[in-house]
């Protein structure tokens, strides 16, 4: 205690040390081993040796570029859909929720209280061939006779949209809720139409939420493999499926690690590009 | 704008929001409903008939109770450890100005923005290269790791409004630093710490992706469900899923009610 009293500047570092050491050991160091493994040659039977095997990267990309593209496209579409569903919902709760706001928010995050795998399996039941949705859509002629929803891209994208929607809705709500209603009234007093007031006042002020929400949805969506596995077929498989099976089923560690690295890099590039676009747009205003 | 049109649009937004909420709640209703189903074969996909059997015997399928007990033990250990480590980091970040604070703030967000599949895979390469056998212990380590950031963010949010004058007052009245911490600081930050711990517990019990990479032969509840998905999920899984849902939702509802009552008392 006396020592601490004399060296007050040390206290924050002492508080940080255990947690940051843990993260260094089990978050930073593993990234090094992932890079190391991605350049190893060999197999489980003969063992792995480090050999600057860049071929792991070139082979993996040429073999799985299709799954890569699919992951980014599915994640992009799911993020856009989640935005279109979440924005009006978040807007409604923020401006019309009144004293029910907390309760309505509870309903928005309710899916998180059901185990991820179980709620995805529930979609399997809902979209099943003999299920209600398919029979209604067939009657309406939207799905052709004998057509399926399960095991299609639609099902996988729908599953991803559903599973990550609260990640979109919560930041949107947080930024919309902070908007001073008087600003919107002021715009309308100054003869802006409802639409104009929304486009010029509400939407720009909610951009931080849009930014956070889209990232929080896109990143886990691009790496997801549960939805493709439970709601799709190998024809819908995403890069997460490839990484998972290469690590845990085929035990082709070199390529699996290379693919993980490329996924991380691709997401980083996408996020940076996105930050630039949205960042400059905000500066221009 | 004409009033009729205005009213239509007002209701249009409400209708859309209610539809969106229905979409969010539909799968939950299916999970609950099918926990009462009496499936004819192995697959619990179509409604066959009402039964309470699975609720009366929620662990009536082999392996399920062991998986659930593993999940709970892992979640308790991981939540306690992550809460301790994360709370200390949050205290340092909110209450002290020091070199490297900005970098630490940024670093804390990294695990939250890394895809789970990449985190799970890189941890596996660590254990593979060091020759550590994966199992119960490695799952716990992985869960502590991904929970720390969430605890930091949760606790920090509650710490920001913290009035430091209360601590100074205690010191002026003759309390030493340890007494001040245990009698003043800790009770004040306790709600935030509890919220962080509950979040960590919930994230841990729900995690599949990072767990499947580092589980070895250990089976947790989500891993059990994953295995069962190929051969037909027993309705007992729906029962346990419903129980977890009711516990979590009930806890959140209670928190909201308490907060509302407090807010009313304050005015």
Q: Which tens digit of pLDDT belongs to each residue from A91-150?
A: 999 998 888 888 999 999 899 999 999 999 999 888 888 777 887 888 887 777 777 888
Domain boundaries, chain B: 62-233
**Chain A positions in Cβ-Cβ contact with residue B30 (cut-off 8 Å):** 122, 125-126
CA atoms of A48 and A107, how far apart (whole Å): 49
**pLDDT at B265 (0 to 100):** 66
* CATH tag, A65-236: 1.10.3720.10
B254 contact A CB<8A: no
CA atoms of A236 and A161, how far apart (whole Å): 15
Residue from A125, A132, A256 to probe the interface with B (highest B Cβ count within 10 Å): A125
Q: Do A115 and B241 touch (CB under 8 A)?
A: yes
A2 pLDDT tier (thresholds 50, 70, 90): low
**Chain B positions in Cβ-Cβ contact with residue A117 (cut-off 8 Å):** 208, 222, 225-226, 229
Q: Do A16 and B122 touch (CB under 8 A)?
A: no
B 214-253: CB under 8 A from A: 221-222, 225-226, 229, 233, 237-238, 241, 244-245, 248-249, 252-253
In chain B, % of residues over pLDDT 90: 49
Two tokens, residue B96: 């002290």
Using the predicted structure, report yes or no on whether residue A281 has a pLDDT greater than 60. no
E strand intervals along chain B: none
Q: What are phi and psi of A76, to 5 degrees?
A: -65, -45
Two tokens, residue B191: 């709600």
Q: What's the rounded mean pLDDT across residues B115-129? A: 93
B 57-76: CB under 8 A from A: none
Q: What's the rounded mean pLDDT across residues A222-234? A: 92
Distance between start and end Cα atoms, chain B: 38
Give the CATH architecture of domain B62-233. Orthogonal Bundle (1.10)
A13 contact B CB<8A: yes
**Chain B positions in Cβ-Cβ contact with residue A16 (cut-off 8 Å):** 88-89, 92, 104
Two tokens, residue A115: 């185990």
**Chain B positions in Cβ-Cβ contact with residue A240 (cut-off 8 Å):** 115, 117
Q: Do A226 and B248 touch (CB under 8 A)?
A: no
Give the nearest partner residue to B177 out of A1, A18, A124, using CB atoms: A1
**Chain A positions in Cβ-Cβ contact with residue B128 (cut-off 8 Å):** 33, 37, 253
Two tokens, residue B111: 């695990």
**pLDDT at B256 (0 to 100):** 81
**What DSSP state is assigned to residue B185?**
I
Closest CA to B209 of A258, A62, A219, A29: A219
In this predicted complex, what is the ipTM? 0.86
**pLDDT at A139 (0 to 100):** 80
- Across A117-121, A270-274, A275-279, B46-50, which has the greatest mean pLDDT? A117-121
Closest CA to A113 of B240, B155, B57, B218: B240
Mean residue pLDDT of chain A comes to 87
A284 pLDDT tier (thresholds 50, 70, 90): very low
Count of pairs with CB atoms under 8 A, one residue in A, one in B: 236
**Cα–Cα distance list, B102 to A77, B153, B163 (Å):** 34, 14, 22
Closest CA to A137 of A121, A152, A122: A152
Closest CA in chain A for residue B91:
A15
Give the nearest partner residue to A110 out of B25, B177, B260, using CB atoms: B25
CB A38 within 8 Å of CB A60: no
E strand intervals along B86-176: none
Give the nearest partner residue to A121 out of B177, B212, B233, using CB atoms: B233
CA distance A257 to chain B (A): 7
CA atoms of B13 and A22, how far apart (whole Å): 47
CB B124 within 8 Å of CB B213: yes
Give the nearest partner residue to A219 out of B85, B113, B212, using CB atoms: B113
Q: Do A15 and B88 touch (CB under 8 A)?
A: yes
A285 pLDDT tier (thresholds 50, 70, 90): very low
A34 contact B CB<8A: yes
Q: Do B126 and A215 touch (CB under 8 A)?
A: no
Residue from B115, B215, B218 to probe the interface with A (highest A Cβ count within 10 Å): B115
A164 contact B CB<8A: no
**pLDDT at A3 (0 to 100):** 65
In chain A, % of residues over pLDDT 90: 44
**A24 or B8: which leads in pLDDT:** A24
Written in H, E and C, the secondary structure of B65-78 is HHHHHHHHHHHHHH
Tell me whether strands A47-50 and A40-43 are parallel, antiparallel or unpaired.
Answer: antiparallel
Q: What's the rounded mean pLDDT across residues B78-97? A: 93
**Each residue's pLDDT tens digit, B156-189:** 887 877 777 888 888 888 888 888 888 888 888 8
Q: Do B45 and A125 touch (CB under 8 A)?
A: yes
Using the predicted structure, report yes or no on whether residue A157 has a pLDDT greater than 70. yes
Two tokens, residue B179: 């007494």
Written in H, E and C, the secondary structure of chain A is CHHHHHCHHHHHHHHHHHHHHHHHHHHHHHHHHHHHHHCEEEECCCEEEECCCCHHHHHHHHHHHHHHHHHHHHHHHHHHHHHHHHHHHHHHHHHHCHHHHHHHHHHHHHHHHCCHHHHHHHHHHHHCCCCHHHHHHHHCCCCCCCCCCCCCHHHHHHHHHHHHHHHHHHHHHHHHHCCCHHHHHHHHHCCCCHHHHHHHHHHHHCHHHHHHHHHHHHHHHHHCCHHHHHHCCHHHCCHHHHHHHHHHCCCCHHHHHHHHHHHHHHHHHHHHHHHHHHHHHHHHC
Q: Do A13 and B98 touch (CB under 8 A)?
A: yes
CA atoms of A60 and A69, how far apart (whole Å): 13
Closest CA to B198 of B250, B131, B135: B250
Mean residue pLDDT of chain B comes to 88
Closest CA in chain A for residue B232:
A121
**Chain A positions in Cβ-Cβ contact with residue B16 (cut-off 8 Å):** 88-89, 92
**Chain B positions in Cβ-Cβ contact with residue A34 (cut-off 8 Å):** 118, 121-122, 125
């Amino acid at each position: 205690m006396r020592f601490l009293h004399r060296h007050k500047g040390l206290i924050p570092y002492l508080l940080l040390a255990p947690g940051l050491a843990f993260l260094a050991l089990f978050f930073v160091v593993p990234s090094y081993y992932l890079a190391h493994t991605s350049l190893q040659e060999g197999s489980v039977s003969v063992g792995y040796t480090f050999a600057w095997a860049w071929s792991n990267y070139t082979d993996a990309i040429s073999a799985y570029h299709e799954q890569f593209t699919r992951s980014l496209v599915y994640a992009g579409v799911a993020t856009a859909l989640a935005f279109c569903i979440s924005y009006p919902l978040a807007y409604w709760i923020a401006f019309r929720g009144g004293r029910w706001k907390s309760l309505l928010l509870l309903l928005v995050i309710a899916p998180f209280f059901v185990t991820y795998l179980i709620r995805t399996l529930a979609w399997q039941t809902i979209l099943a061939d003999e299920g209600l949705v398919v029979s209604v859509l067939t009657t309406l002629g939207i799905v052709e006779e004998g057509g399926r929803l399960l095991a299609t891209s639609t099902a996988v994208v729908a599953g991803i949209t559903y599973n990550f929607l609260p990640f979109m809705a919560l930041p949107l709500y947080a930024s919309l809720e902070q908007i001073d209603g008087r600003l919107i009234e002021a715009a309308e007093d100054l003869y802006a139409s409802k639409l104009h007031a929304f486009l010029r006042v509400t939407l720009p002020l909610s951009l931080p939420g849009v930014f956070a929400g889209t990232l929080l949805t896109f990143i886990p969506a691009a790496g997801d493999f549960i939805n493709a596995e439970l709601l799709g077929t190998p024809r819908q498989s995403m890069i997460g499926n490839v990484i998972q099976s290469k690590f845990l089923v085929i035990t082709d560690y070199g390529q699996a690690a290379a693919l993980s690295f490329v996924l991380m890099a691709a997401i980083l590039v996408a996020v940076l590009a996105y930050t630039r676009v949205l960042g400059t747009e905000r500066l221009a205003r | 704008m004409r009033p009729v049109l205005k009213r239509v649009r007002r209701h249009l937004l409400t209708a859309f929001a209610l539809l969106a909420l229905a979409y969010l709640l539909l799968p939950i209703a299916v999970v609950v409903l099918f926990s009462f189903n009496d499936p004819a074969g192995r697959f619990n996909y179509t409604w066959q008939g009402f039964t309470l059997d699975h609720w009366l015997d929620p662990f009536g399928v082999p392996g399920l109770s062991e998986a659930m007990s593993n999940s709970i033990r892992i979640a308790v250990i991981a939540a306690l450890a992550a809460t301790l480590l994360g709370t200390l980091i949050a205290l340092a970040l909110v209450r002290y100005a020091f070199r490297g604070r900005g970098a630490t703030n940024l670093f804390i967000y990294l695990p939250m923005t890394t895809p789970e599949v990449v985190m799970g895979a890189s941890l596996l390469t660590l254990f593979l290269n060091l020759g550590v056998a994966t199992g119960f212990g490695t799952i716990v380590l992985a869960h502590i790791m991904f929970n720390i950031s969430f605890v930091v963010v949760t606790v920090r949010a509650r710490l920001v409004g913290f009035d430091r004058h209360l601590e100074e007052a205690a010191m002026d009245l003759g309390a030493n630093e340890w007494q001040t911490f245990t009698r003043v600081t800790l009770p004040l930050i306790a709600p935030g710490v509890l919220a962080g711990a509950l979040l960590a517990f919930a994230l841990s019990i729900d995690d599949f992706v990072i767990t499947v990479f580092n589980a070895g032969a250990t089976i947790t509840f989500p891993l059990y469900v994953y295995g069962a998905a190929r051969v037909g999920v027993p309705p007992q899984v729906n029962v346990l899923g419903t129980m977890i849902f009711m516990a979590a939702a009930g806890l959140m509802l209670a928190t909201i009610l308490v907060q509302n009552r407090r807010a009313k008392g304050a005015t």
